[in-house]
Structure 1
Amino acid sequence: MNRRLATAAATAVLVLSPAAAFAYTGDPYDLDVPGQVAEGQPFQVVLEGPVENPQFTLTVASDAVPDSAIEIAGSQSLTKPTAAGVSTFSVTLHEEAVYSLTGVNAAGDVVESATITVGTPGTGGGAPGAGAGGAGAGGAGAGQGAGAGAGQGTSATGQSNLPRTGTTSAPLVAGAAALLAAGAGTMAYARRRQAQH
């Protein structure tokens, strides 16, 4: 009887391990933002979290441009109430640069962050041969006046133009490993009990 119970428990652990690992949600927050937008073109940023979070604050910043180039309903930072845990912000960025976006929940905790690129910052904008800077640096404003197309890099910080949504696979892997270890332990126990009888 004990052998049957141990075998059934081991089987249940092995069967349920993948389902439990995939059911683990990890970070309850999400920031949906395009990776690249056009200068002066409005776009939407969506912050999503638990239903009980009543509001989000979105802040957009860039060291390469003045604050006046950033517009979220007329300002650089805006707090909006949530509807079923979701806040949607309309954002317009008026100059080419790489911008950082930060989402803060009602408790004041930074829950998500991302970057967005406007235009193609770092490409040369001057007449060919004019000036002396910008040998392919790719940073914001690098190579202005250095001729056509100088330094078409990824961003001012060397990061990808893709947005960072905050979702990682590490918690899923850790959960799956823990469940598999528990299943292996149960199987070893069942075999030991079987050998004793």
Structure 2
Amino acid sequence: MNDQVAATATLGADIRALRKARGLTLSDIAAILNRSVGWLSQVERDMSEPSISDLRQIAEALGVPMSMLFAHSGAPAEEHGYIVRAGSRRPMGSGEEGLIEELLSPDLTDDFEMVHSTFRPKSRMQTPANRPTQEVGYMISGRLDLLIGGRPFTVGPGDSFRIRHEPYQWSNPYDEPAVAVWVIAPPVY
């Protein structure tokens, strides 16, 4: 199996995992895309390769940045699904609020995803999130202010935190970046 085939195989599995995590059926997404259920099923089973325009529409329907579907790395076939090299992490999100996220998990087919998050100095989440997930974060460096379920916390290197389907917001009002590893179940990206 060459690198391109391995990357394509991950794409279909990731689309299926994202769709299921959102509680959407093949029919739901096919209707949004104005495509047949059969076509979408073939994409998810890696029997059909979507165009760039298709990927853009799929990403929009799933509420993820296109980079999540487009940025499959060319890992050697024997590493695919097992290893994610530091220079081959998939970027997630737009980075608009000052948060740079990279997927540490090999794909989105597990019951959870693991994310490397870098919070730029003087950045903050503009709108609180409330996702149907359980999340645990581990601080590697820097400090981060969290508001979880209305309760304020400040965490630093070596600290960890948990969010269970409750509103939360983060901010890094400090002069240094904050870096955390974030585990989210089920996958949301």
TM-score band, normalised by the shorter chain? under 0.3
Say which structure, 1 or 2, has more relative contact order (CA 8 Å, 6+ apart): 1
TM norm structure 1? 0.26
TM norm structure 2? 0.27
